[in-house]
Amino acid sequence: MLSSITLHEVPGIDAGLREALHAAGLPTEDLEDEGRTFFKAVSDEYQTVGYSGLERCGDDYLLRSVVTLPEHRGLGLGRMIVAGTLQGRGGSGDAFLVTTTAASFFSTIGFSEVSRASVPAAVLATRQLSSICPSSATIMKLNRPST
Ligand SMILES: CC(C)(COP(=O)(O)OP(=O)(O)OC[C@H]1O[C@@H](n2cnc3c(N)ncnc32)[C@H](O)[C@@H]1OP(=O)(O)O)[C@@H](O)C(=O)NCCC(=O)NCCS
């Protein structure tokens, strides 16, 4: 059983990242555009178990490219990958994501669906929201802890 992961930054051209996203049906066409940071998740046994990415949108972030490699799914790693990726954010902006397949996964880890009308312009302007993902895709925002 895996107990922890470490995130290592990788460039958008990383072959493992591309292959994992392609196999999961996630977008790869904008990986090398500016303003994106990608991570490889490595287990405590030095195995690559998944990937993730963050895209800066003004003060906010788009969480993207979240994938657990198929043989490692269902072990809590997706949750750890998302938590580790979001910890790396600076500032106080909000985290958004867009998904066509995994809204129920993200709702178990603190995201809620939001309407397009409530999403900041810089997030709507990302390639993922403006052209790559269908307009029917679900947009979600990380819930802020109640104070
Ligand atoms: C979505 C994905 C990242 C989940 O990874 P994972 O490592 O299997 O997830 P975890 O084991 O950490 O699961 C965390 C929780 O979400 C639930 N969950 C996992 N996948 C789910 C899914 N597809 N639908 C609903 N719930 C899901 C788990 O049951 C678990 O809940 P629990 O803690 O109450 O038991 C993985 O299925 C994947 O890589 N899918 C393909 C790529 C994708 O769709 N990425 C998201 C778009 S950005």
pLDDT value at position 147? Answer: 60
How many other CB atoms are there within 10 angstroms of residue 111's CB atom?
23
Residue 74 CA, ligand 1 centroid: distance in Å = 7
Examine residue 147 and state whether it is found in any structural domain, yes or no. Answer: no
- The β-bridge relationship of strands 48-57 and 36-43 is antiparallel
Q: What is the pLDDT of residues 100-115, one digit of tens each?
A: 999 999 999 999 999 9
Examine residue 50 and state whether it is found in any structural domain, yes or no. Answer: yes
As for how many domains the chain has, the answer is: 1
Give the CATH number of the domain where residue 53 resides.
3.40.630.30
Q: What is the pLDDT of residues 18-57, one digit of tens each?
A: 999 999 999 999 999 999 999 999 999 999 999 999 999 9
Examine residue 9 and state whether it is found in any structural domain, yes or no. Answer: yes
Q: Which two tokens stand for residue 11?
A: 């460039």
Instruction: Find the mean pLDDT for residues 89-109.
Output: 91
Give the residue numbers spanning the domain of 12.
5-142
Residue 5 CA, ligand 1 centroid: distance in Å = 16
Which of 30, 43, 97, 105 should be mutated for ligand 1, with most atoms under 8 A from CB? 105
Helix (H/G/I), strand (E/B), else coil: 129: helix
